[in-house]
Amino acid sequence: MTEVTPPAPDVHPGLKSPAISFEFFPPKTEEMERSLWETIKRLAPLLPNFVSVTYGAGGSTRERTHSTIARLLRETDLVPAAHLTCVGAARGEIDEIVARYHEIGVRHIVALRGDPAGGIGTAYAAHPDGYKTSADLVAGIKQRYPDIEVSVSAYPEKHPESRDFDADIDMLAAKVDAGAARAITQVFFDNDLYFRYLDRVRARGITIPIVPGIMPMHNFKQARNFVTRAGTSVPDWLAQKFDGLDDDADTRKLVAATVAAGQVQKLAKHGVDTFHFYTMNRADLVFAISHLLGIRPRGTQKAA
Ligand code: FAD
């Protein structure tokens, strides 16, 4: 009888199922709010480590970010993480936002410099009375609230404004020295870029988790424009997979799930055990990809 070789497991056999976190953006309309809460209800039983809510460019969603975070605290067992940037606000205003978060029980902030007020590609000018850099913001939070966990950004392809990788990693090191506990990466599609960046970061003596940020491309064309402006390269092989699907949203969705699932499964096989998903406030692809990572709904969450 011939021996049958079992198929390779999806996740490294020695690993327990990975830890995950989800990113949402604050809804603009009542309908978007309803849809976000459906998404949260579907994803909550996957027991993410935390769920983060972004802060619109220039602080444009300050109140909406706050109210989404507050509702997460009130109505779910999830751990919310509030994004916060230095843009367009004096130090006192930012400190006030942090104080409000601390008062309602928020213990996790994703601290960022933010994009220039004139948009990506223009020169960044710090507010004259504001936090000058993301590292200053991290320090400002940690000095007053040591019990707030702070996550920061990381750029496997370096940030577009960084002179070179050394300058980029200098900033990451400064954020870690100021008290950052974890970095979440900008979206990337080529895993080699992540591993090469990780080698550089570890060679620099930075030991915090560098959690890969994964974005399922629900709408490839729109997402490509957005991520390219933020410095992420979109490989030709990826564009080719969506070729001819502009008017076929169903197939695009299947392709997007397959691509992102392939990416996380390969990362997991190489020992990556924590993932951050840019959900775009949609549950279906992220739920499917989490399932393929071996993550199953557990527990009863009181979400929404
Ligand atoms: P930093 O980490 O402070 O800097 C990134 C790099 O840019 C540094 O390594 C440094 O080398 C270089 N750099 C910084 N400042 C300068 C300078 N003045 N001159 C030259 N080089 C410089 N944006 C939002 O508005 N709201 C959000 O909620 C949000 N969430 C994000 C979450 C994640 C996980 C990531 C990866 C990004 C997010 N962003 C968000 C985008 C982010 O604000 C932009 O990429 C912004 O341009 C940089 O902010 P940062 O904190 O990542 O930068």
Domain of residue 113, CATH code: 3.20.20.220
| 9 lies in some domain | no
Of all protein residues, the one whose alpha carbon is nearest to atom 53 of ligand 1 is 113
Q: Which residues of the chain carry a pLDDT beneath 70?
A: 1-15, 299-304
* Type of residue numbered 166: D
> Out of 3, 23, 30, 63, which one is annotated catalytic?
23
Overall pTM > 0.85: yes
Ramachandran class of 104: left when φ > 0, alpha when ψ lies in -120 to 50, beta otherwise:
alpha
Question: Measured from the CA of 134, which atom of ligand 1 is nearest?
Answer: 3
CA distances for 91 relative to 83, 160, 276, angstroms: 16, 25, 29
Residue 302: the pLDDT is 59
Domain span at residue 168?
19-292
What's residue 144's pLDDT? Answer: 98
Nearest CA to 100 out of 131, 72, 68, 66 is that of: 66
Radius of gyration of the chain from its Cα atoms, rounded to whole angstroms: 19
170 assigned to some structural domain: yes
Q: Tell how far the Cα of 115 is from the centroid of ligand 1, in angstroms.
A: 6
Question: How many independent structural domains does the chain possess?
Answer: 1
**How is residue 236 written in tokens?**
């030709």
pLDDT at 17: 84
- Sign of the dihedral defined by the CA atoms of residues 84, 90, 93, 99, in that order: positive
Ligand 1 atom showing the smallest separation from residue 126 Cα: 18
Note if 23 is an active site residue.
Answer: yes
pLDDT of 143 = 98
Ligand 1, atom 51, residue with closest C-alpha = 112
Strand segments, DSSP code E, in 179-280 are 182-185, 210-211, 213-214, 274-278
Confirm whether 303 is domain-assigned.
Answer: no
